[in-house]
Structure 1
């Protein structure tokens, strides 16, 4: 894994100007950036290209979940856009994930494909409402195993599940961890959170960090502090 770029800064904005203003305060040698559904819906592929032109690798977090052929085509489009990483929902099943792999196979620089197991905003009570009787951890493990079987490069998971996932999955299978909050930060709408040091020590490969950087008075200093913390870990 690229140890100097393990931080992925979440550009959770509602317009391109705010996103670009933040990008100007970050160092592409020290982080990558995530563009999710809200920002992509507002600004589209042009913003992805603008950010990439500034030297940043983009994690396109659109969590594709549809019939296999639709997901295949969507992943092919993302690969043509040149993104570094993109997401699908593991709950879409093996056929859908294999179709995603087929979609990026012909790209000159195929993006990493990572599957979302259980959203970090969810708790066991939410699974119960969906008719899933397994514990949250059991559901994560099941979907992570299915993702590896389905030729994904990794999964998105809570840092609190990383230790057990490391026992279950191959060493080169990437674990991407949202819900990262430096010590003293508010957890916000994430229910299963962990500090950068704890996440790296547990076995996370990439850490998704949003508000602790993007809402800091000095985003560059906040990024550097997290960078130093994970290097010390």
Structure 2
């Protein structure tokens, strides 16, 4: 782990990219493992634009449960240490596929949320943001225009937010160190960013519980390791 700590200290621009495995130690399920959320639910029927319009009651119920689950979890040690690295100038950008807002709750500010956030609702008609407590109370109509309130996230069938995508692309190309944590790298365009960074000369570190699609590109590979524990071990050498 000392080598990774040395890379962090020497790097002028470090990007961290996180996926669902970053938050499993906070008590949230991932999506694609054998115990993942998509093993229990069909994402097309629960988490798509089609579901929102044609299967509305199931859609709302699914996201009520996810929003309620977030109220009982907190950032884990990994989230907290990453925020400390940011404050100490060791991390210049976090790209996350997660919608749980735990990086921000831990204190991170330089976060690009590729898939949006469950920390807010927005009206599908007028775009106005609303507090998630409305969903918990089963209030699904916009108070301004009576349009449908929905989580402020990217659903299956939607494109990623352009600002987050642009920030992530820019960070990947600026990086001289790119660290992947807790994602299998199977979903594009997120899987492109480590490749862009590597092709542009960055050192690539991959830390994940299971093998990823880009393990062959990694300069340093940690498979089968707890994300938080690996971060703690690196931090011990900083």
TM-score (normalizing by structure 1): 0.30
Structure number, greater radius of gyration: 2
Structure with the higher fraction of residues in helix conformation: 1
User: Quick one: higher RCO (CA 8 Å, sep 6+), 1 or 2?
Assistant: 2
